[in-house]
Structure 1
Amino acid sequence: MTDGLAAQIFDHIQGSGLAVGTHITAQELAERFSVSRFPVGQALQLLAAKGVLIHERNRGYFVSDAKTPSAEALGLARRDDITEVYFRIAEDHLHGRLPDPASEAYLKETYTVTKAQLNAVLSRIAQEGWAERRPGYGWSFSPMLTTPESLEQTYRVRLALEPAALLEPTYRLDSETAARCREAELRLLNGAIETDSADALHERGVRFHEAIIGASGNPFFLEAVRRINRVRRLLSYRSMIDRKRYRQQCEEHLQILELLERRKNEDASQALRRHLEHTIENLQEIRPILTR
């Protein structure tokens, strides 16, 4: 599990464009990947040993200035194999083809994977919250959104919640978070829209929205959005096949960010509302992708 989690943290660092010297906290990562702090601590130790992070006693872990290769080159995990099997399981789950519960022997045989590969895939799925180990027998897969209608409903809930979060009297977006969000959007506009994987694109969007909602100072907004993001994950991955709309989304994210930094939260709230409405409109255009 340590290698798989370390690879996810590495992808998070790379995909978010975290600057050299950025403080990486175990608590934030534990919440993001839905695991306890213990495996996060082990993964951080591994990343420090590989030069991705610097560990300072009594201070924690910080992004290193060393030039780092890919997760595969670091020997963290065979990401291509794991990702391919992950998406095969996701598609089968969306189509109701998985038995519930499913034994590890069944999964190993069906997807022609080694025990180590299966453990890495199941660890990732468990961290994302759509499967859990059954005591003594296999794995159960949680109900997930399977129709375009249900995906649109989640956006309508977000439309009610997210703009309101920006108007909380306790709202405060710190400069470090804002800079991190901007770097991630600019990276996509500079070419990563075409080269990033579907899950990386999904995580970028999730990170942006959770970052600006998390600044509300009201944890209930963030918890509600995180729950929605969990159940829409699989259909969101499928929607990434059509990437034409992502340039507009990035530009809208940057506009919202600029307004928040200027403390024009009313305007930012309206811009976020328009952004989510555009996304709902786009769902109609990609409906064939979501229903295939």
Structure 2
Amino acid sequence: MTTRGPMQVSPNDLQQPAALSSLQAEIARKVLALISEGRWAAKEKVSDSALAREFGVSRTPVRQVLQALTAQGLLEQNGSRGFQLVRALASGESIQGMVPPSESQSLYDRLMSARATGEIAEEVSETELVEQFGATRGAVRRALMRMSDEGIASRRAGHGWRFAECLVTDEAVDESYQFRLIVECGALLVPNYRPDEAQIKTLERDQRGILERPIHEISRVDWFSANARFHETIVSWSGNRFLVQSLQRQNSLRRMTELSDFSKLSKRRLDEACKDHLGILEAIASGDYKFAAALLNRHISRASQDVSDEGRETSLPMD
């Protein structure tokens, strides 16, 4: 059990708007994601200089974030050794809950949701988005550049932008599932598939956390992040960068629709997905990758069939 010193604060303090700047909030979310993914073992050093290089920022905001996480009891500062990990995120703790989205993340999510619902046309100018969302041109451009990096938007000749097709037609959704069956199930069967034990435990904690919480306590970002992290991580154990990059782009396309349609999901369907995920992880942990691929095939195929049976108006591609 970690004993709090007189200068430490409660976990809720990171939720206060004044606690972290926009840059610090982005860094904090990245560090928490790395902790959740098992980057460091307990008592392992967390280097502020290494993280600054990885994130492409100066050392000062990274150090400030690590100090804030130390106040939460996740890290500890040990003189010349710097920071080291004390514990992973506990069940019920989420990155979204511990660090609210920055302004840039909020704008990004609003643009994604608006595009999914058709509030933003396939082709649009920065000026139109500035007026529609009441944001600065710089903020809009940064969000669009991020979407460009993710392969879901591209700059047109001139001053406009074009968005990639959303998964809003039956044909696009069917093709998305076909693509994922090939990529995800195939990734489990590549030679030298190597799962990471710490990441398996992190993914299991994510899924059990969803199972244990009532649906009104699960945000759409929490669910999509846990779902996308599961699928991307099990593919990453293939060691094939092209498979990972392809799935990340697919998840970016899915994010547009699924963040918008989360309210249509029932707790039953969320629980079914989480139990499927846990079964797949169990098979992977036992080394039976063929069985894991078969379970994943059934999981994705069942989700695809659910969409076909119920229709887009009542059911979204939730996995």
Check whether the contact 1:6–1:47 (CA below 8 A) recurs between aligned residues.
yes
Q: Does 1:242 align with 2:286?
A: no
Of 202, 218, 233 in structure 2, the residue corresponding to residue 180 of structure 1 is: 202
Q: What is the rounded CA distance, in whole Å, between the counterparts of 1:40 and 1:275 in structure 2?
A: 43
Q: What is the rounded CA distance, in whole Å, between the counterparts of 1:175 and 1:37 in structure 2?
A: 25
The 3-state SS of whatever aligns with 1:288 is coil
Compared with structure 1, are the counterparts of its residues 10 and 195 closer, same or farther at alpha carbon in structure 2 (3 Å cutoff)? farther
**Cα offset, 1:144, TM superposition:** 3.3
Q: Does 1:255 align with 2:269?
A: no
Counterpart in 1 of 2:305?
281
Render the CA deviation track for 1:116-159: whole Å, top value 9, x for unaligned. 87578567656655346789x86634313242321221111111
Compared with structure 1, are the counterparts of its residues 73 and 277 closer, same or farther at alpha carbon in structure 2 (3 Å cutoff)? closer
Compared with structure 1, are the counterparts of its residues 45 and 186 closer, same or farther at alpha carbon in structure 2 (3 Å cutoff)? same
Counterpart in 2 of 1:48?
66
Check whether the contact 1:72–1:78 (CA below 8 A) recurs between aligned residues.
no
Compared with structure 1, are the counterparts of its residues 48 and 119 closer, same or farther at alpha carbon in structure 2 (3 Å cutoff)? farther
Residues 1-292 of structure 1 mapped to structure 2, 5 A cutoff = 2-3=23-24, 5-6=26-27, 8-9=29-30, 12=33, 21=42, 37-39=55-57, 44-51=62-69, 63=85, 65=87, 77=102, 83=106, 85-94=107-116, 95=118, 97-98=120-121, 100-103=123-126, 105-113=127-135, 125=147, 128-131=150-153, 140-149=161-170, 150-191=172-213, 193-244=215-266, 245-284=269-308, 285=310, 287-288=312-313
**Cα offset, 1:78, TM superposition:** 5.6
TM-score by length of 1: 0.74
**Structure number with larger C-alpha Rg:** 2
Q: What is the rounded CA distance, in whole Å, between the counterparts of 2:58 and 2:174 in structure 1?
A: 34
Render the CA deviation track for 1:263-286: whole Å, top value 9, x for unaligned. 111111110100001110222325
Compared with structure 1, are the counterparts of its residues 201 and 42 closer, same or farther at alpha carbon in structure 2 (3 Å cutoff)? farther
One-letter code of the match for 1:9?
K
The 3-state SS of whatever aligns with 1:51 is helix
**Cα offset, 1:184, TM superposition:** 0.5
The 3-state SS of whatever aligns with 1:170 is coil
Q: What is the rounded CA distance, in whole Å, between the counterparts of 1:172 and 1:7 in structure 2?
A: 29
Check whether the contact 1:145–1:235 (CA below 8 A) recurs between aligned residues.
yes
**Cα offset, 1:48, TM superposition:** 1.0
Compared with structure 1, are the counterparts of its residues 42 and 215 closer, same or farther at alpha carbon in structure 2 (3 Å cutoff)? farther
The 3-state SS of whatever aligns with 1:251 is helix
Greater displacement, 282-291 / 200-209 = 282-291
Compared with structure 1, are the counterparts of its residues 265 and 127 closer, same or farther at alpha carbon in structure 2 (3 Å cutoff)? same
Structure 1 residues without counterparts, runs of 5 or longer = 31-35
Q: What is the rounded CA distance, in whole Å, between the counterparts of 1:40 and 1:288 in structure 2?
A: 47
Greater displacement, 108-117 / 271-280 = 108-117
Query: Greater RCO between the two (CA within 8 Å, min separation 6)?
Result: 1
Counterpart in 1 of 2:7?
none
Equivalenced residue count is 280
One-letter code of the match for 2:285?
E
Q: What is the rounded CA distance, in whole Å, between the counterparts of 1:66 and 1:163 in structure 2?
A: 29
Q: What is the rounded CA distance, in whole Å, between the counterparts of 2:231 and 2:202 in structure 1?
A: 13
TM-score by length of 2: 0.68
**Cα offset, 1:228, TM superposition:** 1.7
Compared with structure 1, are the counterparts of its residues 130 and 227 closer, same or farther at alpha carbon in structure 2 (3 Å cutoff)? closer
**Cα offset, 1:235, TM superposition:** 1.4
Counterpart in 2 of 1:33?
none
Compared with structure 1, are the counterparts of its residues 254 and 18 closer, same or farther at alpha carbon in structure 2 (3 Å cutoff)? farther
Identity of aligned residues (%): 22
